[in-house]
Structure 1
Amino acid sequence: MARPRITDAVGRAALEQALGDEPASRTDTATAVRYLLELLVERAPGNTVEVRVPPFGAVQCIEGPRHTRGTPPNVIEMDAPTWLALASGRIDWTTAMAGGTVHASGQRADLTGLVPLLLPR
């Protein structure tokens, strides 16, 4: 059974905590990461690229050839702080890639035009 979608109110509250000046709880960080991954899937549904933010979540997104077994050919992986900054608009895709905290492999492993998911405040 699929996990229920994180509501905007809960997701935004967790995101506010995760991006705040004080260190966020693991629960708030996990909720914020998963909420933004859900928004990514809504913006770019599909099964071509797997976006991983260990240990909090992974999703498949972007239309194109479907991956079904083994290691996906198009993978983007990053830590939670990088994902939160990228998805919230605090950094852009080029900066994140140049910083070395994003690992992308495969021809379609690119989030240009899909992030930020939210406008920075």
Structure 2
Amino acid sequence: MAIRRRIDPDQGRNALEMWAAQAALDAAPADRSTIATAVRFTLEELAARAEGNSVEVRVPPFGVTQCIAGPRHTRGTPPNVVETSAGVWLELVTGRTDFATALAGGGIEASGTRADLSEHLPLFTTAELEDRR
């Protein structure tokens, strides 16, 4: 079942490209609207590529999604949760850092047996983002 997108894929990709370009230059961070759009777009992309409801990925205050096939939870706190900041999330989805490194460095809080997103990240490489420019 295809997910319902709320972020236009072109706008989301443009926001992600803007974030990546600024991150590559170690420039001032992108504005809040750009970050929010990039995070929401990439959460939707993860849900589309790894459909399911067994893991909840939280990037407060911008968004949350459920992904990864497996047992579905129906009430309360899900058994498999990944939570991180917007900056760390965008670094993960663009391959600027990997899941294990971010987890070991305290940039990710993960609980549950399915909470390792390593096989699903990165969603985009920096080369892919640069090629579109």
TM-score when normalising by structure 1:
0.92
1:40 aligns to 2:46 (yes or no): yes
State the alpha-carbon separation in 1 of the partners of residues 108 and 102 from structure 2. Answer: 6
Contact 2:5-2:44 at 8 Å conserved across structures: no
Task: Measure how far apart 1:6 and its partner are.
Answer: 2.0
For 1:4-59, what per-residue CA distance to the aligned partner results, in whole angstroms no more than 9, with x for missing partners?
43233211211122231232111100000001101100110000000000000000
Task: Give every structure 1 segment of 4 or more consecutive aligned residues whose post-TM-superposition deviation is greater than 4 Å.
Answer: none
Change (3 A) 1:39 1:3: closer
Alignment gaps of 5+ in structure 1:
none
Q: How many residues align?
A: 120
After the TM superposition, which of the residue ranges 19-28 and 78-87 deviates more from structure 2?
Answer: 19-28
Residue 7 of structure 2: aligned partner: 6
State the alpha-carbon separation in 2 of the partners of residues 115 and 3 from structure 1. Answer: 21
1:113 alignment partner, SS class: helix
For 1:66-108, what per-residue CA distance to the aligned partner results, in whole angstroms no more than 9, with x for missing partners?
0110000000000000000001111111111111110000111
Change (3 A) 1:3 1:64: closer
State the alpha-carbon separation in 1 of the partners of residues 7 and 54 from structure 2. Answer: 23
State the alpha-carbon separation in 2 of the partners of residues 116 and 85 from structure 1. Answer: 9
Seq. identity, %: 57
Residue 18 of structure 1: aligned partner: 19
State the alpha-carbon separation in 1 of the partners of residues 4 and 69 from structure 2. Answer: 22
TM-score when normalising by structure 2:
0.85
Structure with more of its chain in helix, by fraction: 2
